[in-house]
Each structure stands twice: as C-alpha cells, then as structure tokens.
A and B are shown apart, each in its own frame.
Chain A
Amino acid sequence: MLTNIASVGRRVLPNQWDLIAFATIMAVLTAIGQSYHGVSAPLPAPNQPVISLDYANLPYYALRTALRMFAALFFSLVFTFTYATLAAKSRRWEMVLIPVLDILQSVPILGFLSFTVTFFLGLFPGNTLGAELAAIFAIFTSQAWNMAFAFYQSLRTVPRDLDEVARGLRLTGWQKFWQLAAPFAMPALIWNTMMSMSGGWFFVVASEAITVGDTTITLPGVGSYIAKANDEGDWSAIGAAILTMGIVILLYDQLLFRPIVAWADKFRVELSAGQEVSTSWVLNLLLRTYWLRSGFAPVLAGLRSISLLPIRVPRLFAAKDAANRKPSRLLDAIWILLILAVAVWAAWLTFRYIAMEVGWDEVAHVFVLTIYTLIRVIVLMALATVFWVPISVWIGLRPRWAETIQPIAQFLAAFPVNLLFGATVSLILAYNLNPNIWLSFLIIFGTQWYIVFNTIGGAAAFPNDLEEAAKNFHIKGWRWWIQVIIPGIAPYYLTGALTASGGSWNASIVAEYVKWKDHSVVAQGVGSYIAEATEKGDFPKIVLGVAMMSLFVTLFNRLFWRQLYAYAERRLRL
C-alpha cells in the first residue's frame, strides 16, 4: 500500500472512473471469495517443512526469503512493462487501467492473503509451490502498483523532442520502447522499485507463516522462523532473526540497489551535470574490472542488437502515433458503455454477496470498527508528526548529521517491524496494559521512518539563502516554524506522511491482532476483524473487512492527503 507520489498530482476528488474501478476490484475479490466459499475443509496438506530454531539454519532461511523477494521483483517488472505500456499507449485502456491501479494502491492486500493462499494451494495440490507462489504474490502486490505507476508516469512525460527524433528516425514500436521509453523511465522506475522493496520485506515476513482456517502454511524463511520463535517465546532466537534480517536488507541495498541506482544516473535526461551523483563501491568495482567488462561486452552488444530488431508491435500499441487523428466518438461511447455495464454488474455482485453472506448489521459493525482504526491512524500519525518533525528538521539543517542519519532512517523504514510484534506484546501482557491503546503504537512502528527520512530530506534541501534571510531578519520561534520551515518542508513531509499513512492501514491487520506464546492480544478495529476472520477462514467477513478498509483508505487519501499535497505542490514548491 505504498502510494505512488506521482499519482497524487493527478486528480483530487474521486470521479466516476474511480467508482467503476472500485466496484470492479471488489467484485473480482468477491468472486474469488465466493468460489472458495466453504473451502474451510482441510486442504490437501502440503509437505510442510518443519522450521527449526537452530541458528545454523538462519542463512538458509534468509536465502529463501531473499529469493522470494527476487521472484516477486521479476514478476512486478513484467507486470510494469506490460500494464503501464498498455495504459500509456492506448487512450481507451488508459481510462480503465489507471483508476484500477489507483484503487489497487489502497487495497490492504495483506487481508487477502487467505484467498491467494487458498487459490495457489488449489493450483498445486500437495506441493509447496502453491504456498511459495502465494507468498510471492503477496510481495508482488506490495510492489507492482507503485512501479507500474512510476513507469506509466514516465512514459507519459517522455520529452517531445526525443520522441520526435525516434519517430523521425522511423524506429518501430519495439525499438522505440527499448531505445527511448525504457531508458527514459529507468531512474524513476528504479527509485520506486527500491522504495517498494522496502515495503516488500514486511509482506514476505507476514506471508511465510499463515493460518487459514484449518490449514497452516509454513515456508522456510526468516518470517516463519520468527513466527515459531514467537510461539515458543524464545528471545535469543528472535534476536538472531532480527540480526539476520538486518544483514539481508543491508546486502540487498549494497549489492543490488546502490549499484543500480548509481548506474541509472546515466539515464537522467537533465543534461546539466549539476545533479547530485550517486556512487556505489560495488559498481565502481565492477566497472574497473577489466576482465568482467570484456566478458560482458559481447552480451551487451547482443542485447543492443536485439533491442534494435525491427519488430513491429501490433496496432494496439502503436495507436498513440495517430494522436492527430480525431478519436471516434462512437467507439468511445461503446467502450464506455461496456465498462459501465461491467461496473454495474460488479457492484451488484458485491452487494448481493454481502447481503446474502453477512447481512447489513455486520456491515454497520465493520463500519464502526473501521472508524476505530481510522482514529488510531490519525492519532498516531499526529503523534509521530509532532515527535519526529522537529527532530528531523534539526537533523536536516545540519548536513553532516543528515548524511549519516538519513540512510539509517531509510533502513529502518525497510525493516519489517512485524518481526518485533510478538516480543512487544509480551510487554503488554507482562504489565497488563490495555491493548486498545498500547497495540495502536505498533501500526506506526515501521512507517514513521518514512516521515523521518522525507522530512530530513526536505530540511536538507531547504535553500540556504532563505535560511540566512530568516536569520538576518530575526525570524525566530513560532513564526520561524510556521512561516519559514514548515512551508519549506511541506511537500517532502507530505510525501512521507502519505506513504506512512498507507502503510499504517496495512500494518493494522497484523498489529491489531498479535500472538505471543499461546496468548492472543486483540485491539478493536477493522485490522483485527480481518485477521480473526482470516484465521477462521471466514471468507465473507474478509471480503467485507477489506472492502470497507479499501473504501476508507481511498477516501482518506483523496479527501485529505491529496488535497494537502496538491496545495503544497501548487503553492509551496520552491
């Protein structure tokens, strides 16, 4: 549920397309739920590997977890290249695909883990492949929307002159994609991939060990390891798992993303070389190794030849070339009618399903629960803001501090704090605290760091001359905060807050219902509602809970965050 910031500037108020997209997505989820209705009977038990808390197994588990991330990344890229390209090249598809993507960003897909697990297990009965795919799918859903949005946005902003060069040189669709569109989108895509990846760790941990009804899935990985450690209350095993996870994230960052980000600098279009340059010791090492480079040279030449093959893509993709031609009104009308029909049917399907399976009393109950969670999110976002913004500004205005602390905050944002939930809950049990209050803090545990590193970034980017002007005119105290620094960092803060808010909703599913040894601690809210329904394998309730949460998240984003963000972009961008 990492909301792409590029999508924020688009539109503020929900329009008919959003409603259509919302109805369609919910109907698809309902349909999946319906087809598995009653599948609470034991599924064919997969060959479950038993997790052992022996430390020697941790590197292997870490490897499995990391490989899952890789697989999800691969599928996300495939999805991005096809979905976003289709949306950018075809006006009619764009009408449907983009609102769908926008709503999907707000669906707490963690709540649907149960469906996807049942679905994939059904595909491969008696095989762990199904469970693996379910876990990979969960990570995929945490990355793909955001990446696709970034890619789509880039495709729509390819500089006109470069596009004209490509057309003037008569590049085919295939050639143009690889020579122009893909390289141009590369920096944005890589940055968003990196950010999505940090959300992905959370999902991989949550999806490795999951119970749906009578079926318990345990995949070898750090997430399952910690689940078992939580069951047994083994503190040292939890510590070992946290350490392992930290190392894995660090390696991913240093060995994969830093080199790629540094390499992608060459795709930046701003020709002035004033931009800050990313560096990576790994990339430098690779570039300076003569034999490695000469070994790769033929491969690269081959790839370049492939990218220049005169493949013509079917008309569907080339349709944008005819931008000057008048769009056919009749075809448009038919297309819109078709979409409307599907949406109405989808809405009716969802409506009937909820009416038949759960009843309207339950809907009202879930509505109230969602309000509870909403209050939690708002209060904690406010607390995190009041606590972290002054600290972050202080750090951001001191370049040397900012340099060291910002990467740490970024690392903490990537760290799957759900690893720590069990251990935290033991404290609540020990001191007999009220879970409705104290569990709330967990939902902001992992996501507050987005606020921290974005605000630091904003304060660090605050123009020096404005800072000096403020000092020179003796602007101090409250006036300084309200008239100088807060407007200055607002766009950055909002970027972080939007991400943090989305992440918090998602986190509520695991944070409002936490187990430690044989206790479960529950806070009233839609998150725990979904989590409990998942454990019981009660599909109609899951559908209801997720639909309600998606509705709230979408409206909350549109009516609150985007309004603020649009205002900040318009008035406060320096």
Chain B
Amino acid sequence: MLDPAVTTLLSVDNVTKVFTTGSGESRKPVLENVSMSLKTGEIVALLGRSGCGKSTLLRVIAGLATATEGKVTIAGHPVDGPAEDVAMVFQSFALFPWLNVLDNVEIGPRANGVPLEETRQRALKAIDTIGLDGFESAYPKELSGGMRQRVGFARALVMQPKILLMDEPFSALDVLTAETLRTDLLDLWQEGRIPTKSILMVTHNIEEAVLMSDRILVLSSNPGRIAFEIPVTIPHPRDRLDPEFRALVDHIYALMTQRADTTRPAAREAAAAGLSLSLPLVSTNALAGMLEEIAAPPYDGKADLPHLADSLGYEIDDLFPLGEMLQLLKLAEFEEADIKLTPLGRRFVDMDVDQRKKVFGEQALANIPLASHIKRVLDERPSHRAPAVRFREELEDYMSEDYADRTLRAIINLGRYGELFAYDENAQTFSYENPE
C-alpha cells in the first residue's frame, strides 16, 4: 500500500469554521486551523469537552456543514455537500419514529436508487450482523436505547461507507449497555465483518477513547484546535484495569487539566479587563459537595481524577467544570491527574452555610474579574443598577454568544450565592436590592 491516496482515506487541511448570524455578521471561530488525517484500517477518536467543536468537525467531514476555510478530502475527492463514502451514527440515535426497523435501515439505499431486492438483501444482512434479528418490524418507540443505537449502526453500515463516523454513539446509553455495544462493535471490526475501512469517533469519554481507538486527537476549546495527538498501542482486547491502560488514562487527564491550568490565567492577564475568561456553569451545591468528597477518605484532600470520576459516575464534562471553578476560586487545584484541596478549601469543608457563602463571595470577587467588574459598575452608578445586556456585550467581544450567555449565568449564580449582588430576571438587571 504505497499509494498515499489509498492509505490516507481522509485528510482535513487547515479547516476553520466560523458561524455567521442571520445578518451575516461573523462570530468567534468554533474551529481554527484544524488538520488531521485518517488511514485505512484505523480507529481514531476525537476527544474533547462539550463545546470544543468536535461534533462540528465531524459534520464538516461528513459534508453536513461547510468549512469557512480549508478543505476536506475523502478518498481523493474533495467534500462538497453530503459525502458519499461516509455514514454517521448519532448520539441521539436519530431514527425516524414513523418507520420500523427494516424501513429505517432500508431508507438510505432506497433513496439512493439501489434496486429493491438488493436493498432488502443488504438491509437484512446489516440487521443480522448487528444483532437485530427478530426486531425487523418493531418501531423505535418499542426498543430500548441499546437496540435503537444498533439500528443506528445498521442504518449506517447498510450504506457500505468507507468511513464510519460516530458522534458520541454510546453517551446516551447506560454504562452496561454502552460497554456491550462497544465490545460488540470492536469484535465485528476486528473480525473484519464491517465493510468500513476506518472509523472516526467523537467522544468526551477518556476511557472509551483509550479502549477503542488506535489514535486519540485531543481538541482544545474556544476556539477548537487539535492540542495533542496520542497513539494508543495497547493490544486488543484491552483491559481497563491493565496498568498500561490506567497510565494512559492518567496521562490524558493530566494533559487536559494542565491545558486548562496554563491557558486560562495567561489569557486572563492578556485581556485588560480580564473579561475573556469564560466561566463554567456549575451549581454551588455541587462545588461544596465536591470539596467535601475530596476532603473525606479515601482521598483525604487529594483525589485521582479518573478514580473520582468513576466513583461519582461523572463524565469529564461533569467533572472538569467543577474542578475548574474550584481552581478559579482557589479552593482546589489540579496537579497532573489529581485534584488537591488548598488550605482554604480544607477549612471550607468545616464551615457553616453563612461562612461558606462569605468565602464564595470573597473568592469570586478576588479571583474572577467579571465579578469585581460588575460590582464596580454597580458602585459607580448612582442608581446602583445595571442592565445585563451591558455585560453580555462586553463578554461577546471575547467569546461566542453561547459562552457569553453561560458565563453570565454562572456569575449570576455565584453572585447570588455569595451575596455580592442581586439579579432581577424579569428586568434583566443587576442591583444590590433584595426583596425586603
């Protein structure tokens, strides 16, 4: 296989994606200068947190979204509109509820002009391969999540795509079902019973990426870039408890938290007002709960992140925002793949509610520029009131609309809990007034 066109199935060259508003106004890019490739016979995982643009990248590759800049080539053909050689499996299954299993699987070939008999033959084969025999006449409503996703796989495989794209295919399933589907898929892949030449999967689950893929691409957020590329050489079947497996998982955790650690303060100092800092939206109860969990045995103030995630049943999208907020408030800090309480964090655990609220308020004011900014504006104004839209617009200079909205809601939440300021949802105004 010396011909590069054959070995390199997919190449993505410097893709940038900017969403535009209805009036044609440009926003912050979601993806920036992303390049990657996919070779015959490999499974590649795109790993990243929610909102990092990994799903957008998958859609650009599938031809469902167009890149603002850069190009995508599949098997030597540039992608322009929905690509022919790919098929996608969706997180939400995306089955047509009004079609039964067989019709759902057959719709692709039939719509693309495959003769009726051949369609039926291919559909039955795909249904058989994926383990859906006997469910042909069932409607999606009647099926469990796992069975629904199997239909999703059958529908994709019946198209005989060169590349199978998977958008977090297991994340809507419960833990046991997800594991069964993963191993079934891996078995089929290794036995060569799937007609696809390679698989590209998007995930936010670190262990899933290590379990299934030959290569992991870690995406950073806001804007999305490929931050790291990690080859996975552990032979199949992989064992989650294998030290090599654990070490790699720890390594990836460390990479992802370290990034969060270094980029944020740097960016904060760069911007004059420090408003470029986007805040995760987390509940104050969850923050307190997390501190208590880390302080208690077996962790005693320092917890291994994969272990903590596992014991809490958290994904990284649940765990990282909490950790980041704690780090921001200087109550805990990341250290490699661990999270460690600061002295203040340790004291916090023993405080009563009023003291806790006070600590949150003080720490937010000292460490989150947006909090001090809002307070300053309220102080300066004679009315001590300020509309939310004012801060929203300032934030949107630095981040996309979604991030700005989330940041604003996060600061409202913190401000209310820490009793820094009040917020009136109806009037969309910040003030010091609380109902008497």
Q: Taking beta carbons and an 8 Å cutoff, which residues of A are in contact with B?
A: 159, 161-162, 164-165, 167-172, 175, 179-180, 183, 186, 266-269, 271, 273, 308, 310, 321, 324-327, 329
Known interface pairs A266-B139, A329-B24; A168-B62 also in contact (CB < 8 Å): yes
Query: How distant is the Cα of A159 from the Cα of B155 in the complex, in angstroms?
Result: 18
Tell me whether B82 is interfacial, beta carbon within 8 Å.
yes
Known interface pairs A164-B64, A164-B90, A324-B65; A266-B98 also in contact (CB < 8 Å): yes
Contact yes or no, A170 B24, CB < 8 A: no
Smallest Cβ distance from B24 to chain A, in angstroms?
5
Chain B residues with CB below 8 A from A169, complex form: 82, 107-108, 111-112, 159
Pick the contact of B112: A159, A170, A269, A325 (CB < 8 A).
A170
Chain B residues with CB below 8 A from A172, complex form: 111
For B91, the closest partner residue in chain A by CB is A161
Contact yes or no, A324 B66, CB < 8 A: yes
Q: Pick from B62, B94, B139, B140 the residue with the most CB of A within 10 Å.
A: B94
Chain B residues with CB below 8 A from A325, complex form: 66
Query: How distant is the Cα of A118 from the Cα of B98 in the complex, in angstroms?
Result: 45
Contact yes or no, A168 B111, CB < 8 A: no
Tell me whether B387 is interfacial, beta carbon within 8 Å.
no
Contact yes or no, A170 B96, CB < 8 A: no
For B108, the closest partner residue in chain A by CB is A169
Extra 17 A-B pairs, beta carbons < 8 Å, given A161-B91, A183-B96, A266-B97: A162-B94, A164-B64, A164-B94, A165-B88, A167-B82, A168-B64, A169-B107, A169-B112, A179-B111, A266-B139, A266-B141, A269-B97, A271-B140, A273-B142, A308-B107, A310-B111, A310-B113
Number of A-B residue pairs having CB atoms within 8 Å of each other in the complex: 78
Tell me whether B59 is interfacial, beta carbon within 8 Å.
yes
Known interface pairs A170-B112, A179-B107; A162-B96 also in contact (CB < 8 Å): yes
Query: How distant is the Cα of A167 from the Cα of B24 in the complex, in angstroms?
Result: 24
Tell me whether B171 is interfacial, beta carbon within 8 Å.
no
Tell me whether B92 is interfacial, beta carbon within 8 Å.
yes
Chain B residues with CB below 8 A from A266, complex form: 97-98, 139, 141
Contact yes or no, B24 A327, CB < 8 A: yes
Contact yes or no, B107 A168, CB < 8 A: no
Query: How distant is the Cα of A183 from the Cα of B96 in the complex, in angstroms?
Result: 9
Smallest Cβ distance from B107 to chain A, in angstroms?
6
Chain B residues with CB below 8 A from A268, complex form: 97
Smallest Cβ distance from A332 to chain B, in angstroms?
9
Tell me whether B110 is interfacial, beta carbon within 8 Å.
yes
For A327, the closest partner residue in chain B by CB is B24
Smallest Cβ distance from B102 to chain A, in angstroms?
12
Smallest Cβ distance from B88 to chain A, in angstroms?
5
Query: How distant is the Cα of A180 from the Cα of B141 in the complex, in angstroms?
Result: 17
Encode contact with A along B327-359: 1 for CB under 8 Å, 0 otherwise. Answer: 000000000000000000000000000000000
Chain A residues with CB below 8 A from B139, complex form: 266
Query: How distant is the Cα of A186 from the Cα of B130 in the complex, in angstroms?
Result: 31
Contact yes or no, A273 B112, CB < 8 A: no
For A329, the closest partner residue in chain B by CB is B24
Contact yes or no, B141 A170, CB < 8 A: no
Q: Pick from A165, A186, A273, A321 the residue with the most CB of B within 10 Å.
A: A165
Query: How distant is the Cα of A326 from the Cα of B68 in the complex, in angstroms?
Result: 11
Smallest Cβ distance from B53 to chain A, in angstroms?
15
Query: How distant is the Cα of A180 from the Cα of B111 in the complex, in angstroms?
Result: 12
Contact yes or no, B59 A164, CB < 8 A: yes
Query: How distant is the Cα of A160 from the Cα of B81 in the complex, in angstroms?
Result: 17
Chain B residues with CB below 8 A from A186, complex form: 98
Chain B residues with CB below 8 A from A321, complex form: 81
Smallest Cβ distance from A170 to chain B, in angstroms?
5
Tell me whether B20 is interfacial, beta carbon within 8 Å.
yes
Chain B contact surface mostly: loop
A-B contact pairs, 28 of them (CB 8 A): A161-B90, A161-B94, A164-B59, A165-B90, A165-B94, A165-B96, A168-B82, A168-B88, A169-B82, A169-B107, A169-B112, A170-B111, A172-B111, A175-B111, A179-B111, A180-B96, A266-B139, A268-B97, A271-B97, A271-B140, A271-B148, A273-B141, A273-B142, A308-B110, A310-B113, A321-B81, A324-B20, A324-B65
Contact yes or no, A170 B84, CB < 8 A: yes
Tell me whether B206 is interfacial, beta carbon within 8 Å.
no
Contact yes or no, A168 B87, CB < 8 A: yes
Residues 90 to 141 of chain B near chain A (Cβ within 8 Å) = 90-92, 94, 96-98, 107-108, 110-113, 139-141
Known interface pairs A170-B112, A267-B98, A268-B97; A326-B90 also in contact (CB < 8 Å): no
Chain B residues with CB below 8 A from A179, complex form: 96, 107, 111
Query: How distant is the Cα of A304 from the Cα of B108 in the complex, in angstroms?
Result: 14
Chain A residues with CB below 8 A from B90, complex form: 161, 164-165
Query: How distant is the Cα of A321 from the Cα of B155 in the complex, in angstroms?
Result: 23
Contact yes or no, A271 B66, CB < 8 A: no
Contact yes or no, A326 B108, CB < 8 A: no
Contact yes or no, A171 B111, CB < 8 A: yes
Smallest Cβ distance from B184 to chain A, in angstroms?
22
Contact yes or no, B96 A164, CB < 8 A: no
Query: How distant is the Cα of A9 from the Cα of B211 in the complex, in angstroms?
Result: 47
Query: How distant is the Cα of A269 from the Cα of B107 in the complex, in angstroms?
Result: 18
Chain B residues with CB below 8 A from A329, complex form: 24
Chain A residues with CB below 8 A from B142, complex form: 273
For A91, the closest partner residue in chain B by CB is B22
Query: How distant is the Cα of A175 from the Cα of B112 in the complex, in angstroms?
Result: 10
Smallest Cβ distance from A283 to chain B, in angstroms?
15
Closest 5 CB pairs of A and B: A161-B94, A169-B108, A183-B98, A165-B94, A324-B66
Smallest Cβ distance from B196 to chain A, in angstroms?
15
Q: Pick from B92, B97, B140 the residue with the most CB of A within 10 Å.
A: B97
Query: How distant is the Cα of A266 from the Cα of B86 in the complex, in angstroms?
Result: 30
Smallest Cβ distance from A374 to chain B, in angstroms?
30
Chain B residues with CB below 8 A from A170, complex form: 82, 84, 111-112
Smallest Cβ distance from B80 to chain A, in angstroms?
12
Encode contact with A along B57-75: 1 for CB under 8 Å, 0 otherwise. Answer: 0010011111000000000
Chain B residues with CB below 8 A from A310, complex form: 111-113
Q: Pick from A168, A308, A321 the residue with the most CB of B within 10 Å.
A: A168
Smallest Cβ distance from B366 to chain A, in angstroms?
36
Residues 159 to 202 of chain B near chain A (Cβ within 8 Å) = 159
Chain A residues with CB below 8 A from B88, complex form: 164-165, 168
Smallest Cβ distance from B174 to chain A, in angstroms?
15
Chain B residues with CB below 8 A from A267, complex form: 97-98
Smallest Cβ distance from A321 to chain B, in angstroms?
8
Known interface pairs A164-B88, A183-B98; A271-B59 also in contact (CB < 8 Å): no
Contact yes or no, B97 A326, CB < 8 A: no
Query: How distant is the Cα of A179 from the Cα of B84 in the complex, in angstroms?
Result: 20
Chain B residues with CB below 8 A from A183, complex form: 96, 98
Contact yes or no, A326 B96, CB < 8 A: no
Residues 17 to 42 of chain B near chain A (Cβ within 8 Å) = 20, 22, 24
Chain B residues with CB below 8 A from A269, complex form: 97
Query: How distant is the Cα of A308 from the Cα of B119 in the complex, in angstroms?
Result: 13
Chain A residues with CB below 8 A from B140, complex form: 271
Smallest Cβ distance from B19 to chain A, in angstroms?
8
Query: How distant is the Cα of A73 from the Cα of B159 in the complex, in angstroms?
Result: 40
Smallest Cβ distance from A503 to chain B, in angstroms?
32
Chain A residues with CB below 8 A from B59, complex form: 164
Smallest Cβ distance from B153 to chain A, in angstroms?
13
For A162, the closest partner residue in chain B by CB is B94
Q: Pick from A164, A267, A269, A273 the residue with the most CB of B within 10 Å.
A: A164
Smallest Cβ distance from B171 to chain A, in angstroms?
13
Query: How distant is the Cα of A325 from the Cα of B20 in the complex, in angstroms?
Result: 9
Residues 246 to 267 of chain B near chain A (Cβ within 8 Å) = none
Smallest Cβ distance from A333 to chain B, in angstroms?
12
Query: How distant is the Cα of A450 from the Cα of B17 in the complex, in angstroms?
Result: 50
Chain B residues with CB below 8 A from A159, complex form: 92, 94
Residues 281 to 319 of chain B near chain A (Cβ within 8 Å) = none
Query: How distant is the Cα of A171 from the Cα of B96 in the complex, in angstroms?
Result: 14
For B94, the closest partner residue in chain A by CB is A161
Query: How distant is the Cα of A393 from the Cα of B113 in the complex, in angstroms?
Result: 56
Pick the contact of A271: B112, B141, B159 (CB < 8 A).
B141
Query: How distant is the Cα of A257 from the Cα of B148 in the complex, in angstroms?
Result: 31
